Amino acid sequence: MAVDAHGGDHGLSATLPAAFAALREDSGIEIVMVGRREDIEAALADTPDASDKALRERLDFHYVESALPMDVRTVTALRKGEGSSLWEAIRLVADARADGCVSGGNTGAMMALGVRLVGMLPGIERPVLMAYIPHASGFTAALDLGANLSVTERQLVQFAVMGSLTAEKVDGIANPRVGLLNVGHEESKGHMIVQAAHALLKEVPINYIGFVEGNDLYAGTVDVAVCDGFSGNLIIKASEGLARMTMSQLRQAFAGSLRGRLGAWLARPALVRMLAGLDPSAHNGAPLLGLRGVVVKSHGHADDKAYMQAILEAAQAARKELPQRIDSLIQQYHLEA
Amino acid sequence: MAVDAHGGDHGLSATLPAAFAALREDSGIEIVMVGRREDIEAALADTPDASDKALRERLDFHYVESALPMDVRTVTALRKGEGSSLWEAIRLVADARADGCVSGGNTGAMMALGVRLVGMLPGIERPVLMAYIPHASGFTAALDLGANLSVTERQLVQFAVMGSLTAEKVDGIANPRVGLLNVGHEESKGHMIVQAAHALLKEVPINYIGFVEGNDLYAGTVDVAVCDGFSGNLIIKASEGLARMTMSQLRQAFAGSLRGRLGAWLARPALVRMLAGLDPSAHNGAPLLGLRGVVVKSHGHADDKAYMQAILEAAQAARKELPQRIDSLIQQYHLEA
């Protein structure tokens, strides 16, 4: 696994401990940290795990000169990003020197460099971003989260197939239930594109259960929810905004009075467990599907534990040969866009 | 105000107390309850306010034979709905026998009957559904919430104008800030339709502040947020699903242990206040904009307090002559779709 040492808000103080934790967690992986030499050496000096020789044997380094800023423009990443940690991490995958890569860097830059360096699977036009939305009893994999603002019915079908395969092969969900997001459950609902995709999806060999609504994302009705990237992006950001507001109001509610503060202190363990379940980084690691290789996006604000999950997710996707399987199913059922 | 006595999950046990409460709250209104005679008479016998003669003088009744079920299909409402409480409440507005109407009934049926009986303002093709999303320091008015699944740039501009006028004239927000929902704040973001609407909106005499993202709905960044009805419907239902899940998990967190239960009991007043703020019915009453008259949708599950707010919202819209003002601004700036 190639790991972008500088991807994400916390840089090496999250990515290096995450790499060691991933090596410990999954004995079948080796990691190449891609980053600036001086930063990596400084971080190693600060990381207790660095003295573990068995782990160090499975950790290699690929030194680069620069790192892209989190707010880099896509066009800048493409034109001037060569030699940066993100570019090099993705290039290691393109050159088959790594089986997959992980970065918490800029999403648009990752997608553009993924397409440019690794390339798309035949018949697939654009990569799709999948994320895991936590609900009371697990996760709903949702895609697209913003890579494709306008979609055709065939693209929606491709998203469904890619999402289903990822849920099954990477996340180990048997026969994942796939739903198409729409304004109602009824057959007659929705605009022409979701109507056409709905008809096509009935013929595809996945466990397609039909239309689902926005609230189904949090009800555990489906394992995979499919929509265009415009709606998907608005939904996920609105949910993040609501979750953030709820947590802040909860804190205020408890802080308001002595009685509230005492109640909060007593209920703290239960509340902490609950809030951890709401935390989007509880399942970190959003694969960019449709590429010829494994490229996984971590939350920018992921801490070491969350970043480790993204590395393990990438390792699992590589081990299950996810891109090859997607390719085979797309070709087999003539699902080219 | 014409009030559909049977609209909503609770029927007259919510709508009749709501009518009395609205009469008490706003001394300038009169109400016509539209419903089945026997049901109204039974409900009056159960309502303490019914003995208040001063209130009764401002309450009239319009008896009908039937009520549409909550899950009525739009086509059924149009073909067979004549004489139902919803049809008659809307017809009173169409015939200028009421200045506005309120129902908690089926949204599709309300829209279809609104268009059929009351009619659209010139140059406006379809009604738009606006709702109020509660956030920490107020409400964001969001539209469209599902009336128009595919939109043109001119329709988005019309939504923005109608939303801005409603926020200003009905809700009393001076110079409301209007944003266009998009996948990013940057000028270059978004598909062709939001790009084109963005360019048009800069020329319209409203306080357009530019693109906003999903999380801005809960951040108080804007007073009015505009999007197509497909995304809007998914966003609002996803938010409702998340809010419901959060409340349920909060209850579970507190119920889990003696310590949690004690904490919950102590923190209860603060929590109840906080949850009330998250409750979507805290601001009930979603106007159907673009019609020639005032038609306001209540949540189906609204209780009497929430239903009263929808009645007051309708009264305020009628008093401020909202449809006429929308008409005038749409014509004045040649914003026909």
CB < 8 Å from A in window 224-263 of B:
227, 229-231, 233-246, 248-250, 252-254, 256-257, 259-260, 262-263
Judged against a pLDDT cut of 80, whether residue B281 lies above it is answered with no
Owner of token pair 């704040």: B185
Query: Does A229 sit within 8 Å of B231, measured CB to CB?
Result: no
Whole-angstrom Cα Rg for chain B: 21
Measure in Å the smallest separation between the Cα of B158 and chain A Cα atoms.
20
Q: Which chain B positions have a beta carbon within 8 Å of A230's beta carbon?
A: 183, 190-191, 231
DSSP bridge pairs for A141: A132, A224
pLDDT in tens, B33-55: 999 999 999 999 999 999 999 99
Measure in Å the smallest separation between the Cα of B55 and chain A Cα atoms.
38
Query: Does B244 sit within 8 Å of A233, measured CB to CB?
Result: no
Q: Which chain B positions have a beta carbon within 8 Å of A266's beta carbon?
A: 259-260, 262-263, 266
Contacts of A194 (CB under 8 A, 6+ apart): A153, A156, A180, A181, A182, A211
The shortest CB-CB distance from A217 to any of B216, B241, B267 is to: B241
Judged against a pLDDT cut of 70, whether residue B280 lies above it is answered with no
**Residue B255: band (very low, low, confident or very high) from pLDDT cuts 50, 70, 90:** confident
CB < 8 Å from B in window 140-179 of A:
146, 149-150
Give the C-alpha separation, A323 to B292, whole Å.
55
Query: Does A231 sit within 8 Å of B234, measured CB to CB?
Result: yes
**pLDDT at residue B92, rounded to an integer:** 98
Report all structural domains of chain A as residue ranges with CATH numbers, in order of start.
1-127+290-337 (3.40.718.10), 130-282 (3.40.718.10)
**Residue B183: band (very low, low, confident or very high) from pLDDT cuts 50, 70, 90:** very high
Measure in Å the smallest separation between the Cα of A204 and chain B Cα atoms.
25
A97 touching chain B per CB within 8 A = no
**pLDDT at residue B300, rounded to an integer:** 86
The shortest CB-CB distance from A242 to any of B242, B248, B271 is to: B242
Q: Which chain A positions have a beta carbon within 8 Å of B253's beta carbon?
A: 267, 270-271, 273-274
The shortest CB-CB distance from B267 to any of A217, A239, A267 is to: A267
DSSP string, B50-68: GG-HHHHHTEEEEEESB--
DSSP string, A174-220: SS-EEEEE-S-SSTT-S-HHHHHHHHHHTTSSSEEEEEE-GGGGGTT
State the pairing for strand pair B286-289/B224-226.
unpaired
Query: Does A238 sit within 8 Å of B235, measured CB to CB?
Result: yes
Query: Does A214 sit within 8 Å of B236, measured CB to CB?
Result: yes
Span of A109-113, A282-286, B63-67 with lowest mean pLDDT: A282-286
State the Cα torsion A199-A202-A206-A209 to the nearest 10°.
90
**pLDDT at residue B301, rounded to an integer:** 84
The shortest CB-CB distance from B253 to any of A149, A150, A274 is to: A274
**pLDDT at residue A125, rounded to an integer:** 81
Which residue from B297, B337, B325 is spatially nearest to B113, judged by alpha carbons?
Answer: B297
The shortest CB-CB distance from A249 to any of B235, B257, B274 is to: B274
Judged against a pLDDT cut of 80, whether residue A334 lies above it is answered with no
What is the ipTM, given to two decimal places?
Answer: 0.86
**pLDDT at residue A170, rounded to an integer:** 85
Query: Does B278 sit within 8 Å of A259, measured CB to CB?
Result: no
Q: What share of chain B is helix, strand, coil (3-state, %, to 5)?
A: 50, 20, 30
B264 touching chain A per CB within 8 A = yes
A280 touching chain B per CB within 8 A = no
Is the separation of the CB atoms in A266 and B265 below 8 Å? no
> If DSSP codes are grouped into helix, strand and coil, which group holds residue B207?
strand
Measure in Å the smallest separation between the Cα of A227 and chain B Cα atoms.
10
Q: Which chain B positions have a beta carbon within 8 Å of A220's beta carbon?
A: none
Sign, CA torsion A31/A32/A34/A39: positive
The shortest CB-CB distance from B239 to any of A219, A233, A239 is to: A239
The shortest CB-CB distance from A215 to any of B229, B240, B262 is to: B240
Judged against a pLDDT cut of 70, whether residue B278 lies above it is answered with no
**Residue A262: band (very low, low, confident or very high) from pLDDT cuts 50, 70, 90:** confident
What burial class does residue A54 get, using C-beta atoms within 10 Å of its C-beta: 0-12 exposed, 13-18 middle, 19+ buried? exposed
Measure in Å the smallest separation between the Cα of B71 and chain A Cα atoms.
11
Contacts of A70 (CB under 8 A, 6+ apart): A8, A9, A105, A106, A300
pLDDT in tens, B41-93: 999 999 999 999 999 999 999 999 999 998 899 999 999 999 999 999 999 99
Owner of token pair 């009957």: B113
Model pTM score = 0.88
Average pLDDT over residues A282-311: 91
pLDDT in tens, A151-164: 999 999 999 999 99
**Residue A225: band (very low, low, confident or very high) from pLDDT cuts 50, 70, 90:** very high
Owner of token pair 């329709």: B155
Contacts of B70 (CB under 8 A, 6+ apart): B8, B9, B105, B106, B300
> Between helices A229-255 and B258-278, what is the axis angle to 10°?
120
**Residue A260: band (very low, low, confident or very high) from pLDDT cuts 50, 70, 90:** confident
- CA distance to A13, A56, A58, A305, per residue, from A48 (Å): 12, 12, 16, 16
> If DSSP codes are grouped into helix, strand and coil, which group holds residue A31?
strand
| Sheet of B224-226, strands arranged across | B59-64, B31-36, B2-4, B100-103, B294-297, B286-289, B128-135, B138-143, B224-226, B177-181, B207-212
Q: Which of B76, B106, B183 has the highest number of chain A CBs within 10 A, making it the mutation to test binding with A? A: B183
**pLDDT at residue A269, rounded to an integer:** 73
Q: Which two tokens stand for residue A42?
A: 């400084």
Cα end-to-end distance, chain B, whole Å: 30
**Residue A176: band (very low, low, confident or very high) from pLDDT cuts 50, 70, 90:** very high
Query: Does A135 sit within 8 Å of B249, measured CB to CB?
Result: no
